[in-house]
Amino acid sequence: MSDTKLVNWLFQTGAVRVCPENKPFWYTSGTIGPYYINTHFLYGSEKKALELLEKIDAFKADKLSCPEKLLPLIEANYNSDRIFKGLIDSMLEFVGNNIDLESITYISGGERRDWYFSLILAKKLDKPHITIYKDLSTVITQDGQTDAAISINGANVLHIADLITEASSYERAWIPAIKNICGQLKCSVVVIDRLQGGGELLEKNDVCSFALTSIDRKFFRSALDMELINKGQYDMLLKYIANPRESMKAFLKEHPEFMEEALQSDDRTRERAQLCIDSKIYKF
């Protein structure tokens, strides 16, 4: 799959959103930045992705039946949605080209957004799927039957995820969960690597880390060349990638009206702006 095809899908579905020029987004942490990533929107659209997320939240109360209820929905979407099918087919090709599948016994995916991708990849690769929950409990689905995981006797596991940032979920939950059932999480394949240290953390834990694409200068250069963003947006993105904290501090100094407007905005924006001030995030 070409990078341009994936970049186009990410923007087309809203999985990557870039702010208008000089209007960065407010994040929940009280920081600001020029883009949002919601990889699960590659399910076809924001609407479809959020509808599945609602079903996941309803299904996951019953850990054994959850993966069996989800897979038919995801398969139906694979058969009907051009973008999602294209992505999954590309992931299958990528895995085949980069992973020694003969050495992998299980595919795993963690609660919740990994499941958009991991369940159907396991089915297509004819591998049993380990569904990992946030409390580190695990169930294994094989041949339409799901059972609580007890021990996989040292077997190797390939983890499929939507994206990797700092790999905190891997460190806190996914790697320990596989160790708890006597398995080895050997490889990770994600759609997006945000290049914020996650890949390096996985390597330190003896997990090979792969991504279909990374959020870097090349990624946004492709978006600019495809006219998905303009030069002003591109320049802001490059400054942010080079130094997120300092670039946004400089922006706020150059545009004092941005903070003033945020404090007069809707409740959510005002709360985030106030958090930014109270926490002295940008020290101004």
Strands (E), the chain: 16-18, 25-26, 32-33, 35-37, 106-110, 129-132, 138-142, 145-148, 156-164, 184-193, 208-214
Q: What percent of the chain has pLDDT over 90?
A: 98
113-166 pLDDT tens trace: 999 999 999 999 999 999 999 999 999 999 999 999 999 999 999 999 999 999
H/E stretch holding 271 reads helix 267-278
Q: Which CATH number fits domain 62-217: 3.90.1170.40, 3.40.50.2020, 3.40.50.620, 3.40.50.720?
A: 3.40.50.2020
- Ordered by start, the domain boundaries in the chain are 3-38+218-278, 62-217
Average pLDDT, the chain: 97
29-51 pLDDT tens trace: 999 999 999 999 999 999 999 99
